[in-house]
Amino acid sequence: MDDTGARHKAANGFCTQIGNAHFAWFDTTRAKSPLNFLELLRVTKTTSPTPSAPGSSASAWRFYRDRKLYQANPSPQRKAALRARFDRIFKRRTDFVTLDRLLARLHANKNELLLVLDRPEIPLHTNGSENDIRCHVIRRKISGGTRSDTGRDCRDAFLSLAKNLRQARRHLLGLPR
């Protein structure tokens, strides 16, 4: 999944791409949020606002590196070690209230965030989505956006079709995404 800015009826919006190596789908909306993404998936969920906080830490980077190693060679021992490391990282307390809130919120979502340990085939990057949405960015730069709802829907549908045909062709020819 990825998104980019989109102009529609002379107003700012967002074009969201959802897909994988075999499928791409685009939709343009006025919002960019987790709720909007879930709505695009036709899922409802209630969340509370989240505080902003400083970026990553060295321990979080090591967790990512170890997750990559687990992906290459999953084992129950590595899975348990990653769960324990997650707790050590996100149960920490600092002298920064905002950071402590963020750590607590992330720890509260532990089961959801560590679902990737049960599905090691899930990629750790969004390169495919970045590539899929690039064509939308180029069109936006050239045309400046759509002017009607029909135009927006047609653009999103044709982008979806074009990407799906490209992916199907590459798959049939045995080429990488």
Q: What confidence tens digit (pLDDT) does each residue in 154-175 have?
A: 888 888 888 888 878 887 888 7
pLDDT band for position 58 (50/70/90)? low
pLDDT band for position 140 (50/70/90)? confident
- The domains of the chain are located at 2-48+125-173, 58-117
Rounded CA-CA distance 26/31 in Å is 14
HSE (side-chain half, CA atoms, 13 Å) at 26: 29
Residue 3 corresponds to which tokens in the numbers above?
């998104």
Please indicate whether residue 153 or residue 48 has the higher confidence score (pLDDT).
Answer: 153
For residue 15, the tally of other CB atoms under 10 A from its CB is 26
- Backbone Cα Rg of the chain: 19
The whole-number pLDDT of residue 87 equals: 92
The whole-number pLDDT of residue 1 equals: 67
The whole-number pLDDT of residue 177 equals: 61
Kindly report the average pLDDT of the chain as a whole number.
78
For residue 102, the tally of other CB atoms under 10 A from its CB is 18
Q: Where are the alpha helices (DSSP H) in 73-109?
A: 76-90, 97-108
Looking at residue 2, what DSSP letter applies? E
* First vs last C-alpha separation in the chain: 15
Strand order in the sheet with 11-20: 2-8, 11-20, 23-29
Mean pLDDT across the stretch 91-97? 86
Q: What confidence tens digit (pLDDT) does each residue in 105-139 have?
A: 989 999 888 888 888 877 766 677 777 788 878 87
